């Protein structure tokens, strides 16, 4: 039996909806063996982030060495990296182990508004991580910060942002449309040559905690299983649409998505 493996390098969400917990659930649901390197602990629930405790960079390097020198991986996804020293440490290890299939989710701010990346670290994301990324998956506010564009609201502006991020080194760019307002939510994939739109019904629900983490983890799982980027992104869109459309309804705030909906409830066509 071939075991496909994926590694998440991300923060812990004690509430289980985002971060490494969301990533590992997604890997498992998509039939991929999941591994994790913790970059920060958060005390977090559906109502927000109550505390952040970054892991020392030396220990992040030690975790990456432990996993990559022994088990190896078919794909890596990064999420919350918090500061520039952590970013530089992770980039160094991705290069040292010649990682292929790297999905960069440039996490900056949690839904409740808590910062998950200090402002001074945005330059480090652009300098050290974008050039290594097989796929980068910014939401609309993250794409704005990374590109410095004044606004990204229309499809043409999404295309302009995708082109800039591709020019700066990412092989593929997915600009996610979750923060828009249209009844149809459209993500835009760019491979340097053509654009592919992935659209689905927008669900009017407050249970969208961890959507970005889950989507990026599903792309990593697809790549780890041998799918090409377009196939992996399409599967991820179906996975996240199923997860949002069958909410669990737990907690008192922005509840998590339903990671088992894709398997148990069937998928919606995109």
Ligand X SMILES: Nc1ncnc2c1ncn2[C@@H]1O[C@H](COP(=O)(O)OP(=O)(O)O)[C@@H](O)[C@H]1O
Residue 200 binds ligand X (CB under 6 A): yes
Beta carbons of 23 and 36 less than 8 angstroms apart: yes
Number of residues that this document lists for the chain: 270
CA 78, chain centre distance (Å):
7
Q: Considering beta carbons, is residue 180 or 191 the nearer one to ligand LCLJCK34?
A: 180
Query: What phi and psi values does residue 169 have, to the nearest 5 degrees?
Result: 125, -15
Q: Considering beta carbons, is residue 63 or 139 the nearer one to ligand X?
A: 139
Q: Considering beta carbons, is residue 28 or 199 the nearer one to ligand X?
A: 199
We find the least distance from the C-beta atom of residue 152 to ligand LCLJCK34, in angstroms, to be 17
Residue from 212, 214, 237, 241 carrying the catalytic annotation:
212
Residue 203 binds ligand X (CB under 6 A): yes
Q: How far apart are CA 174 and CA 187, in angstroms?
A: 7
Site for ligand LCLJCK34, rule CB under 6 A: 10-13, 18-19, 42, 44, 79-80, 107, 110-111, 116, 209-213, 254
- If contact means CB under 5 to 8 A according to the sort of partner, which of ligand LCLJCK34, ligand X, none does residue 240 touch? ligand X
Torsion angle (degrees, nearest 10) of CA 146, 149, 155, 161 = -40
- If contact means CB under 5 to 8 A according to the sort of partner, which of ligand LCLJCK34, ligand X, none does residue 11 touch? ligand LCLJCK34
Beta carbons of 10 and 215 less than 8 angstroms apart: no
Q: 174 has which bridge partners?
A: 189
Tokens of 156: 């043409």
Candidates 64-72, 81-89, 125-133, 173-181; binding stretch for ligand X (CB under 6 A)? 173-181
The pairing of beta strand 172-175 with beta strand 75-78:
unpaired
- Would residue 176 show up in a list of annotated catalytic residues for this protein? yes
Q: Considering beta carbons, is residue 35 or 243 the nearer one to ligand X?
A: 243
Q: Checking phi first, is residue 103 left (phi over 0); if not, alpha (psi -120 to 50) or beta?
A: beta
- Would residue 208 show up in a list of annotated catalytic residues for this protein? yes
Q: Considering beta carbons, is residue 48 or 178 the nearer one to ligand X?
A: 178
Residue from 208, 214, 241, 257 carrying the catalytic annotation:
208
The pairing of beta strand 172-175 with beta strand 135-136:
parallel
Q: How far apart are CA 151 and CA 154, in angstroms?
A: 9
Residue from 147, 211, 241, 257 carrying the catalytic annotation:
211
- Would residue 213 show up in a list of annotated catalytic residues for this protein? yes
We find the least distance from the C-beta atom of residue 97 to ligand X, in angstroms, to be 26
Q: Checking phi first, is residue 177 left (phi over 0); if not, alpha (psi -120 to 50) or beta?
A: alpha
- Would residue 212 show up in a list of annotated catalytic residues for this protein? yes
Residue from 93, 176, 227, 237 carrying the catalytic annotation:
176
Q: How far apart are CA 123 and CA 84, in angstroms?
A: 8
Active site residues: 176, 208, 210-213
Site of interaction with ligand X (CB under 6 A): 139, 176-179, 185, 187, 200, 202-203, 208, 211-212, 215, 237, 240-241, 244
């Amino acid at each position: 039996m071939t075991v496909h493996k994926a590694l998440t390098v991300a923060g812990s969400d004690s509430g289980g909806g985002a971060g490494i917990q969301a990533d590992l659930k997604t890997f498992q649901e998509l039939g991929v063996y999941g591994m994790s390197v913790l970059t920060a602990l958060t005390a977090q629930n559906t109502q927000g982030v109550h505390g952040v405790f970054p892991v020392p960079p030396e220990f992040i390097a030690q975790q990456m060495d432990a996993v990559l020198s022994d088990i190896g991986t078919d794909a890596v996804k990064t999420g919350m990296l918090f500061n520039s020293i952590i970013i530089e440490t992770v980039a160094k290890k991705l290069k040292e182990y010649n990682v292929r299939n790297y999905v960069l989710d440039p996490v900056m701010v949690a839904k409740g508004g808590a910062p998950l990346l200090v402002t001074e670290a945005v330059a480090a994301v652009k300098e050290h991580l974008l050039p290594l990324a097989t796929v980068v998956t910014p939401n609309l506010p993250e794409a704005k910060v990374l590109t410095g564009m004044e606004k990204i609201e229309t499809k043409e502006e999404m295309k302009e942002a995708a082109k800039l991020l591709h020019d700066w080194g990412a092989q593929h760019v997915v600009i996610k449309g979750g923060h828009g307002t249209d009844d149809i939510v459209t993500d835009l994939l760019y491979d340097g040559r053509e654009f592919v739109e992935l659209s689905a019904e927008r669900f009017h629900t407050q249970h969208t905690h961890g959507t970005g983490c889950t989507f990026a983890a599903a792309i990593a799982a697809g790549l780890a299983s041998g799918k090409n980027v377009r196939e992996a992104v399409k599967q991820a869109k179906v996975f996240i649409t199923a997860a949002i459309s069958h909410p669990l309804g737990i907690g008192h705030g922005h509840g998590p998505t339903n990671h088992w909906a894709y398997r148990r409830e069937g998928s919606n066509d995109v």
